[in-house]
Amino acid sequence: MKKKVAYLIIIILILASQSFSSTGTLEKALEEYKNLLNDYNLEKSNTDLANKLKNELTNLAVYRLIRLETAGSVERKESASNIFDYLTFFYNNNKPSQVKERIALAGLLAYITSNLLGENLKTVTINNLPAFISAFNDYVSLLTKDFREISKYLLAYSIGLIDVVPEGFEDISTVGNVAIKTNLPEFSADKYGFYSDIIKIFQETNIKTILLQKAKEILKSNPKDSKELNRSINIASNSLARELRSVLSSYQLKMAEDIVKATPKRLNFWWLRFIAYAIFLAVFWIYFRKRLGLIIYLIISFESLYILAFSKGFFGKFDSVVYSLLVLVLLFSLYRFVSLLFAKKLSVIATIVGLLGIVVYVFSIFIPIYPDSEELKISNFKGFENSIYYELLKHDLYLDSTSDLNREIAEIYSLTSKEYSELKDQIKRFEKLVNALYDSKAISNFSTKGSVLKMGIPSFSEFYSISNWENYNSFLSELDKNIKDFNWRSKNRKNKIYRLVDDVMNRIKDYSTIFTQEMRDDLFDYLEKSLKRSNTTKFMLEYVEELKNDISLKSSEPIRVKIQKTPEGNVAIVLTTMVIILMFLSKRKYYKSVSLFLIANSVLWIFKASSTTIFVDKNVPNLVIKNISNPNLLVPVMFLIFSILSLVIKKTLKEG
């Protein structure tokens, strides 16, 4: 009967320990992550957090679009910001109250990061994300705080100070008994939010062994009174807490691995086509060399089909590397074209097509595809001014000391301060000169009449004698030299200051041109406060006020998007590159099929120009804009004309 009771107790204890371990914070965080991930991937999310994240990702794209349009991509920081920083910025501004939700959100941000990097989620991506590091550190910090208190009771039980071991820690044994009595508050598991986590750690790690060693050390130290005993227990619990932190580092890695396992994988085997191309070329080169031209033609045709139909203008890392190599070949083909042109070996139509291809390339760099679209005005992106990424934009453009605007204002401040300082020095020199003249009896007295300074000059003084020529001449020469030197420096400084003022005004004008009225108000408020801080920069306020009044009369302009920022434009550029290369480097008409695909892309582009996706920046979300107005159809028409003309070339080289 006793054995049955013992077995029953053991079973209950096992079930209890399993129930504790199955409800740990990290397990809950993983479930939270799965739920949040599923909700985020819905077309219409159900949670406020997922919806807010989607909105802010759009705002992130808008922020980068404005940032690139106004200040370019160069950042004057020790390290440039990247998608890890941008998403961690969202985390810091939307940190949930509970640790499990923080870890779940950090996991979702890591998932989004991996998508934007064009790869499946990896543990290294999670562990490199500052948001995840922050969330897990919060978990470690809070858990350690509970552990430190719970371990005091476990140590007390192990040295015989209390009779009942805390629930879930029944396998902790006693290593001795102390004769000293101390008052510990009554133990309550409900006080500790990470109680089940700590039970699990004792089950899965060697922390229990270390605790028993610490208990033996307390007994060995033979404390003399309750005060000394409490101090020994506190020291032991703090030491155990340090051991715990090293144990939890493995939990962080395990958590990252669990998040990766819970995340669906995206499969992309398109890169294998290059291996297939290589195999086909090798086989035909060895066994069917006479048909090698056919397989080359088929490969080029299939690659053109892939670019148009399957890639849809979204090129991954591998594709981007391959297509970027085409630029080098293009340069050689252009050299070949120019050589044939000067050698007069090109037909008239080949010459026209070659020149048109160059014109299309040059135009594609400078001509915006949406030069005047209302949908590309910042005001069309509702709520951007209230976004966390608007705060980043303000720091990038004018709040940070490293911003271009602030650096220019700082340089103006430096130059005007130097001018002010040197001018005061000149006045002081003049004061010294006057005092020297008075001492030399060149001046008899000083007096003022109203605001006018009067100097008495004696009817005669030895100072004015020709025998004193060397003396008074040195006075005047020094005065003349100082004034000339100062005037030269002052004039150069003045020119540089006003050049910088023009640069500042032009920069403010560029920003204000696309800013909404609210964004303009923020910019001018900052400028007014900043310029008022120093007397040497106050002079700029009138220029700022004049520009402010002028800008207020004008409406915001749209952000201009080049064709390289659109999928259709990317496809057109790659296919055009292939046509030009094949046209002037190949004897066979391989470019014919590519031209057909370029025609198809140009026609589709014309009909789809009212809806587009904008590539904003590397590893940043794209902007999807529907019903966009006023597309510049001249751009796809140019590509269409070029592709049609390339088809009608019968012979690239003249006969004979």
The pLDDT tens digits of the residues spanning 174-188 come to: 888 887 777 778 888
In 3D space, the residue among 503, 504, 521, 513 whose CA is nearest the CA of residue 394 turns out to be: 521
**Looking at residues 384-388, what average pLDDT do you find?**
94
Instruction: Say if residue 130's pLDDT is above 60.
Output: yes
What would the pLDDT profile of 223-237 be if each residue is shown by its tens digit? 888 888 889 889 999
Query: In the prediction, which pLDDT does 591 show?
Result: 85
b/e code 364-377 from CB counts within 10 Å (16+ = b): beebbbbeebebbb
For residues 418, 422, 424, 428, the Cα torsion angle rounded to the nearest 10 degrees is 150
For residue 48, what pLDDT band results from cuts at 50, 70 and 90? very high
In the numeric block, the tokens 């751009």 are attached to: 635
- Dump pLDDT digits (tens) for 10-26: 333 333 333 333 458 99
DSSP state at residue 456: E
Pairing outcome for strands 452-456 and 612-614: unpaired
- Quick one: the chain helix, strand, coil %, rounded to 5? 70, 5, 25
Among the residue ranges 11-15, 482-486, 563-567, the one predicted with the least confidence is 11-15
Average pLDDT, whole number, for the chain? 86
- Where would I find the beta strands (DSSP E) of 405-535? 445-449, 452-456
The model's confidence at residue 293, banded by pLDDT at 50, 70 and 90, is confident
Between 14 and 375, where is the model more confident? 375
pLDDT at residue 161 tops 50:
yes
pLDDT value for 1: 41
- pLDDT value of residue 188: 87
313 vs 216 pLDDT, higher one: 216
Is residue 363 over pLDDT 70?
yes
Angle, vertex CA 316, rays to CA 315 and CA 322, nearest 5: 80
Percent above pLDDT 90 for the chain: 43
- Rounded distance between C-alpha atoms, residue 50 and residue 101, angstroms: 12
Q: In degrees to the nearest 10, what's the CA dihedral of 344, 350, 356, 360?
A: -120
Q: Would you state the pLDDT for residue 505?
A: 95
How confident is the model over 63-83, as pLDDT tens digits? 999 999 888 877 766 567 889
**Is a pLDDT exceeding 90 seen at residue 479?**
no
- Of 465 and 102, more confident: 102
Could you tell me the pLDDT band of residue 653, with boundaries at 50, 70 and 90? low
Q: Are 569 and 609 in contact (CB under 8 A)?
A: no
Confidence band, pLDDT 50/70/90 cuts, at residue 366: confident
Q: Burial, 209: exposed, middle or buried (Cβ in 10 Å; 0-12, 13-18, 19+)?
A: exposed
For the cut 70, the answer to whether the pLDDT of residue 498 exceeds it is yes
